[in-house]
Chains A and B, each alone.
Chain A
Amino acid sequence: MPHQLGVTIRAPVAAGQVAELRDWLAEIARKGLAEGPFDFTHLRGLHYAKLYLLDETTDLDGQQIPATLVFMSEVDAPLRRHLAELIDLAGEGIDQAFAYCTGYPGPGAHRRARIAWLRRHMIPASAFYVNTVGRGLEQIRLEAMLRDALEEYLDQRDWAGHAAIEIRRELRAYVAGCPGLAWARKPPPPPSLRFRAGEAVHMVAVPLVLALLLPVLLLVLPVWAVLLRLDERHDQPFTERPTLRHLEEVANYEDFVTQNPFAVVGFLKPSRLRQLTTRAVMFLTDYGVRHIFTHDSLAGIKTIHFARWVPIDGWRRMTFATNYDGAVEAYNDDFINIIWWGLNATFGSARDYPPTRWLFFGGAKLEEQFKATIRCHQVPVPAWYTAYPELSADNIENNAQIRAGLRGDMSPAQAERWLSLL
């Protein structure tokens, strides 16, 4: 199975085009991205995609940042295929979207010129979280189909009096007898050797380098901690509250299916110390999501399918974008109750974030301030695509376990436990 990529394409909106783009996005919001002109259902390995507008703004030094159009996708590797399909299969929609941006070659141009333009406007994430690394779209879809088939099979009979182990045997026989389910008897193949080798090197190299730097870090860290704490003392509580109008704009695109899109954008505090802190934290976050939180949970949160942190405008701003299960209130409660420390570390240096203490404390624990700043900085995501609108991350993991349980021998107790997944 392929590994997953978080593609971000961002381009400035051409002068005078913002209002038209906004109208066009509203129209696309009604149509959705699944069918024409985007036809995203036909793109291979595309889990999610979003298209949204970042309004014109001025940075903390008063410099203007023009309005930009942002496209994000969560997709199975390879990247080359995805970019080509964006033009070859979704070209009508992509052409319409980026026609509002400066310099887009347009539908008349050769496909290669348009692909190259998209590639040039790609920006890297500083960290990209995948719920379960290597679980591709095809696997998710097939395993959902397997679960449906097994559930239907169980529904057809009265199993009272049968032992779990016997029922499992029957279910295995049923799968073996269905040519369409033959794949389920084998484990899903891992991501490519090249990807795994690269990740393995990274996993070892980073701690190695940090170990070598340890004497320096031991000297620097206490000084840094004290300086940070002194800097944090200037942070102000966040007293603003989102307006009804802003809440409505965001909520118009929320809570239709199992998952929701989520995108926030905010300025990073300009002090060099806070900038460095954010970069260091993002470096560690990248390590965490690549090597520690790679299966089923982001430090205890099991409702996030994908998440990414993308610094923009030369690290003056940071965007955080996810696809998650349930409503934003529940999502924020999870943040506050489960990974407050992680939120504080990654966003504590963002302007308008509730004041943190020693990087990890305070911050998100200030419930109303935290929820308000999230809502205030949330960007409406009018155009959003999900390949499996009815599946929670929990469902997807359960389906994978159902498939895994088809293989090998089981004790009666194990068979009983496995049956409880159905």
Chain B
Amino acid sequence: MAIKLDLDDIQGLIARGYRTLPHARFTIFTTQDTADAHALLSWLLPRVTPAGRFSGDSALHVAYTAAGLRRLGLPESVIAGFQPQYRGGMTDPNRSRFLGDVGESDPHHWVWGGPQEPPLDGLILLYASSPEVLGARQAELAAHIDAAGIRQVTVLDTLEAGNNEPFGFHDGISQPIIGGLPKVSGTAPAGTPGGRVVPAGEFVLGYPNVYGQLTDRPLLPAADDPRHLLPRDPAGSGAADLGRNGCYLVMRQLEQDVGGFWRYAGEATTRPDGSEDPDARTALAAKMVGRWPSGAPLVETPDRDNPRLGGDNDFGYYHTDPLGLACPLGAHIRRVNPRDSLDPQPGTDASLAVNDGHRLLRRGRSYGPGAGALAAAGNNSHAERPAGADVAPESETGLHFICLVASLIRQFEFVQHTWLNNPTFHGLYDDTDPLVGSRDPRGATFTVPGRPVRRRYRDLPQFVRTRGGAYFFLPGISALRYLDQLPADTRSASFSSSATR
């Protein structure tokens, strides 16, 4: 049965990554009091871009932390309906250990979102077609924020969106295709591994997920929504559905040590005479990623880059490369999306179905001064890339990672813990993700299967560290409207949690 998504109520960020709006700026804010929080939301509400047809030169989205929803007056009894990971926050010590945010990535060192700071309220994402439009929209926003006396926490700038991420690889190729939305990415026909359609409920709450069920989300008694602002629970309970048409938004500032990455790849591939081997350097980097800089997947072209396959997403692993001879078992893309390599029946549709339950809808943007130069170089002649030479050490470069999910634990946290940072992923022993994994203290090996024997790279440095992050909720537009009108008396009311043990 085809699912009809309520596109006028869903925020547009779920439907599109705004490739036509390559300039973006993210504002993370904390308000002083309830009145400020409402003043800001009232101003934002008419400016939020829905997921329906879109042709503007800018777009705006808003997402809230649990603290932000509390500030708006949402009672605890309703907040208890959100996932525990969201309520507890990303910097809870148990979450930090789970996510690999330890050592250099410890939240105590973060530039925003750390436990030493006042809790964040929310995130405003602004997208624009040109720097001028972005500047104008941001100025409006900033003026409003100043006038309202809101404590602004951080404004995160991004680089003009292109194909490449800061390490120099074509990124964002494999996005899930969402049931009920026009196909937004991918070149593979339906029914093939790359053309799989994932149920909308994996990314938008209030619709059936991979199990054909509705993921838990905050519901409230219909009596608490007398103006009928909220949609009703599609399961038929009669409750008002605050979660429907919303999703969780994970944001993490991931600093990429571009210089260190290429320096390592260069040193690990030096010829016996001590000279550099640029082809081998790129090949090793590609082994870590699982794609060549053009984006061509190693399973399709193991020995050299082939830019014609740059957007290729129509492949599996089990039948073509079960041992990882082309694309190492521990390579980045084989971890974040193992496709058909999962137990109990790898190589089958059942395996792909298991994989469907762990997909992320990525909406990140790169940041930093160094990335632009490298990304541009990556488009042309990756093999001749000067290894890290064009990145000054003090210029921080990286990714403002954003992903949208219906379940923080089953999707984002699972991928981060069970696939990326798991030293024993896929039968390995001491390998975390070579590109983005933590090395705490295990996981510093990268194994490249080969004939006649594998090659092990030991003592791999950590190339990515977390510099900030938080869990947000990206509400549907009616939910925003409901939050906006919460009367003062319920704002201060304290309800006992219904989720007792």
Tell me the A residues contacting B by CB distance below 8 Å.
151, 154-155, 159-160, 162-164, 167, 240-248, 251-252, 254-256, 258, 300-302, 325-327, 329-330, 333-334, 336-338, 365-368, 376, 390-392, 394-395, 398, 416, 419-420, 422
B418 and A419 form a contact (CB under 8 A): no
A395 and B429 form a contact (CB under 8 A): yes
B344 part of interface (Cβ distance < 8 Å)? yes
A325 to B, closest residue via Cβ: B424
B324 to A, closest residue via Cβ: A420
Distance to closest chain A CB from B459 (angstroms): 12
**Which residues from A are CB-within-8-Å of B87?**
244
Query: B78-95 CB contact bits vs A (8 Å, 1 = yes)?
Result: 001000100110001010
**Which residues from A are CB-within-8-Å of B215?**
368
B84 and A244 form a contact (CB under 8 A): yes
Query: B167-194 CB contact bits vs A (8 Å, 1 = yes)?
Result: 0000000000000000000000000000
B424 and A394 form a contact (CB under 8 A): yes
B453 and A422 form a contact (CB under 8 A): yes
A398 and B357 form a contact (CB under 8 A): no
* Complex Cα spacing A176 to B427, Å: 27
B97 and A255 form a contact (CB under 8 A): yes
**Which residues from A are CB-within-8-Å of B32?**
none
B462 part of interface (Cβ distance < 8 Å)? no
From known contacts A258-B423, A330-B414, infer whether A154 and B343 are also in contact, taking CB-CB under 8 Å: no
Q: Which of B238-246, B274-282, B290-298, B493-501 makes up part of the contact surface?
A: B493-501
**Which residues from A are CB-within-8-Å of B148?**
none
A419 and B417 form a contact (CB under 8 A): no
Distance to closest chain A CB from B340 (angstroms): 14
Give the contacting residue for B414; candidates A162, A329, A416; CB below 8 A.
A329
**Which residues from B are CB-within-8-Å of A302?**
343
A327 and B414 form a contact (CB under 8 A): yes
**Which residues from A are CB-within-8-Å of B319?**
none
B115 part of interface (Cβ distance < 8 Å)? no
Give the contacting residue for A255; candidates B98, B423, B427, B499; CB below 8 A.
B98
Distance to closest chain B CB from A157 (angstroms): 9
A243 and B501 form a contact (CB under 8 A): yes
Distance to closest chain A CB from B339 (angstroms): 16
B57 part of interface (Cβ distance < 8 Å)? no
**Which residues from A are CB-within-8-Å of B88?**
244, 247-248
* Complex Cα spacing A18 to B417, Å: 35
Give the contacting residue for A395; candidates B84, B409, B413, B424; CB below 8 A.
B424
Tell me the B residues contacting A by CB distance below 8 Å.
80, 84, 87-88, 92, 94, 97-98, 209, 211, 213, 215-216, 323, 343-344, 354, 357, 409-410, 413-414, 417-418, 422-424, 427, 429-430, 442, 449, 451-454, 456, 458, 497, 499-501
Interface SS of chain B: helix, strand, loop or mixed? loop
A252 to B, closest residue via Cβ: B94
A367 and B427 form a contact (CB under 8 A): no
A415 to B, closest residue via Cβ: B452
Distance to closest chain B CB from A256 (angstroms): 7
B456 and A151 form a contact (CB under 8 A): yes
A-B contact pairs, 7 of them (CB 8 A): A155-B456, A248-B94, A327-B417, A333-B410, A333-B414, A366-B213, A367-B209
B453 and A159 form a contact (CB under 8 A): yes
B497 and A243 form a contact (CB under 8 A): yes
* Complex Cα spacing A338 to B442, Å: 29
8 new A-B contacts, CB < 8 A, other than A240-B501, A367-B213, A422-B453, are A154-B453, A164-B451, A247-B84, A255-B98, A300-B343, A327-B418, A329-B413, A420-B323
**Which residues from A are CB-within-8-Å of B422?**
326
A242 and B84 form a contact (CB under 8 A): yes
* Complex Cα spacing A247 to B409, Å: 13
**Which residues from B are CB-within-8-Å of A326?**
417-418, 422
Distance to closest chain B CB from A99 (angstroms): 30
* Complex Cα spacing A390 to B235, Å: 44
A394 and B414 form a contact (CB under 8 A): no
A419 and B452 form a contact (CB under 8 A): yes
Distance to closest chain A CB from B89 (angstroms): 10
Give the contacting residue for B449; candidates A246, A327, A330, A420; CB below 8 A.
A420
B216 and A337 form a contact (CB under 8 A): no
* Complex Cα spacing A422 to B445, Å: 14
**Which residues from A are CB-within-8-Å of B209?**
367
Distance to closest chain A CB from B248 (angstroms): 15
**Which residues from A are CB-within-8-Å of B409?**
329
**Which residues from B are CB-within-8-Å of A301?**
344
* Complex Cα spacing A255 to B95, Å: 10
**Which residues from B are CB-within-8-Å of A244?**
84, 87-88
Give the contacting residue for A242; candidates B97, B417, B501; CB below 8 A.
B501
**Which residues from B are CB-within-8-Å of A246?**
501
**Which residues from B are CB-within-8-Å of A247?**
84, 88
B357 and A422 form a contact (CB under 8 A): no
A367 and B501 form a contact (CB under 8 A): no
B214 to A, closest residue via Cβ: A368
**Which residues from B are CB-within-8-Å of A325?**
424
A395 and B427 form a contact (CB under 8 A): yes
**Which residues from A are CB-within-8-Å of B357?**
333
B499 and A167 form a contact (CB under 8 A): no
B213 and A368 form a contact (CB under 8 A): yes
**Which residues from B are CB-within-8-Å of A366?**
211, 213
Distance to closest chain B CB from A271 (angstroms): 25
Distance to closest chain A CB from B347 (angstroms): 15
B424 and A376 form a contact (CB under 8 A): no
B452 and A337 form a contact (CB under 8 A): no
The 3 closest A-B CB pairs, nearest first, are A392-B424, A300-B344, A251-B94
**Listed residue (A164, A241, A330, A422) with the most chain B CB atoms within 10 angstroms of its CB:** A241
Distance to closest chain B CB from A203 (angstroms): 25
**Which residues from B are CB-within-8-Å of A395?**
424, 427, 429
* Complex Cα spacing A242 to B88, Å: 13
A257 to B, closest residue via Cβ: B442
* Complex Cα spacing A302 to B426, Å: 11
Distance to closest chain A CB from B54 (angstroms): 33
* Complex Cα spacing A400 to B84, Å: 40
Give the contacting residue for A329; candidates B344, B410, B449, B500; CB below 8 A.
B410
* Complex Cα spacing A329 to B358, Å: 11
B454 to A, closest residue via Cβ: A422
* Complex Cα spacing A242 to B87, Å: 12
B429 and A162 form a contact (CB under 8 A): no
B500 and A243 form a contact (CB under 8 A): yes
Distance to closest chain A CB from B411 (angstroms): 10
**Which residues from A are CB-within-8-Å of B458?**
155
From known contacts A255-B98, A338-B343, A365-B211, infer whether A329 and B418 are also in contact, taking CB-CB under 8 Å: yes
Distance to closest chain B CB from A59 (angstroms): 18
* Complex Cα spacing A336 to B211, Å: 10
**Which residues from A are CB-within-8-Å of B499?**
240-243
A416 and B501 form a contact (CB under 8 A): no
**Which residues from A are CB-within-8-Å of B452?**
159-160, 162-164, 167, 416, 419
**Which residues from B are CB-within-8-Å of A416?**
451-452
**Which residues from A are CB-within-8-Å of B429?**
390, 395
Distance to closest chain B CB from A241 (angstroms): 4
**Which residues from A are CB-within-8-Å of B500?**
240, 243
Distance to closest chain A CB from B179 (angstroms): 18
A162 to B, closest residue via Cβ: B452
**Which residues from A are CB-within-8-Å of B98?**
251, 255, 327
